[in-house]
Structure 1
Amino acid sequence: MLQAFCFGTLGVTLEDLYFIDPTPAPGQEGPERGVRVELRVLPPQEWRGSVYAAQRFVLDEALWRADFFESVERGPGSKDRMHHHPEMEGNEPGSRVFDRALTQDPFAWLERRLTTLPEACLAPGHEASVKELLANVPQIVEAARTILARVHADQLALTPTRPTSV
């Protein structure tokens, strides 16, 4: 499942994933599953067609990511692989950052993180989008909670997620 919240020039995506790292760090071997939350740029697109035509939306560059993952071996509720990537460069994540506050209360942590946005969101042109995003943080957090509950119930993230291209 892929869910998106769009706020002018910014968006938040939530996606269930079953992930196998081809080069895992020590202690991170084996598949993991859960929900990924990403803060992304929503760049304006060229108008196409008539005034009534459906328009294109593109959720592009990721600015920040949190992975609410748990190892398949240890199962739902283990919180053993939950981490975030405070830095992204060209859509590639920086190192995994594990945070005790994230594993103690994942959704309170997510709410705090979404209300303290990365510097890139504070650039000119994003002001109205930031205001709208902040007003919708409770709905985003609830969506993440719902998707993770569906992963725990074996309704989502059942098979390995594969890249669409190499």
Structure 2
Amino acid sequence: MVASDLYFVDPNPIPGQEGAERGVRLEVRLLERGPLTGTIYAARPIVIDRPVWRADLLGSASGPAGNLDRAHHHPRFDDWNPGARVFGEELSADPLKWVAGRLSDLDGLLAEAGVPGGQAGPNDPAQLRSAVPDIMAAVHRLLDGVAKGELAVPPAEAASGQLTSARVSWL
């Protein structure tokens, strides 16, 4: 599970989704552990690999700070590319509660994503479920930073009003 603030301008938005967006992106990704190289004390190589599910807790940047009027998710990926945005009544009504519920059901999330059951470890669903309160606390902190204007900040070029494409995020 990874999360980051995000400022985003889609160069080809779907109708009703034009203009800049800001918020928080969460992804469930596959993790690959490399073999130990060196002694028993060596650091283990770890790769945070391809995403299998994404939630974008976004709001229109022209709207009030902290709005999540564009919250959606991507239940499937084609390799590194997300499927279409999926909006839902429950997701729109309470995005944070909805995300917490999805993360609490890793088996269901992976099944919907079309990821074979063997991709997750036997303890992963329970471990993720127990981490959900901490994950959501971090998401709340990120969203607070977005609402305060400290995170998901537009690039300098946005001031000109000519920005047609942007993605400001480490994720």
Normalised-by-shorter TM-score class: 0.7 to 0.9
AA paired with 1:18? Answer: Y
The residue that corresponds to 2:123 in the other structure is: 128
C-alpha distance in 2 between matches for 1:136 and 1:97: 25
Q: Identity of counterpart residues, as a percentage? A: 39
Structure 2 distance, partners of 1:121, 1:145, is: 31
Q: Which moved more, 1:71-80 or 1:103-112?
A: 71-80
Give CA-to-partner distance per residue, 1:93-113, whole Å, 9 cap, x none: 111001121122111111111
Q: What are the equivalent positions in structure 2 for 1:3-42 lying under 5 Å apart?
A: 12-42=1-31
Report 1:1-166 matches (<5 A): 12-117=1-106, 118-119=110-111, 120=115, 122-123=117-118, 126-160=121-155, 161-162=167-168
Aligned AA (2:69): D
The 2-side partners of 1:58 and 1:16 are apart by: 21
Count of aligned residue pairs for this structure pair: 153
Which stretch has the larger CA shift, 77-86 or 50-59? 50-59
Aligned counterparts of 1:91 and 1:106: Cα–Cα separation in 2: 24
Deviations 1:28-47 (A, max 9, x none): 11110100010000012122
Question: Per the alignment, in what secondary structure is the counterpart of residue 127 of structure 1?
Answer: coil
- Larger helix share, 1 or 2: 2
Distance in 1 between residues matched to 2:82 and 2:119, nearest whole Å: 24
Q: CA deviation at 1:48?
A: 2.1
The CA RMSD measured in Å over matched residues stands at 1.9
Residue 159 (structure 2) aligns with: none
Scaled by the length of structure 1, what TM-score is found?
Answer: 0.84
Q: Which runs of 5+ in 1 are unaligned?
A: 1-11
Q: 1:52 Cα deviation (Å)? A: 1.8
Q: Bigger radius of gyration, 1 or 2?
A: 2
Tell me which amino acid in the other structure corresponds to 2:60.
Answer: S
Distance (Å, rounded) in 1 between the aligned partners of 2:87 and 2:75: 11
- Give 1:75 shift: 2.9
TM-aligned CA distance change 1:147 to 1:163, over 3 Å: closer
Unaligned regions of 5+ residues in structure 2, if any? Answer: 156-166
Q: Can you list the C-alpha shifts for 1:72-92, whole angstroms capped at 9, x where unaligned?
A: 111324322110001112021
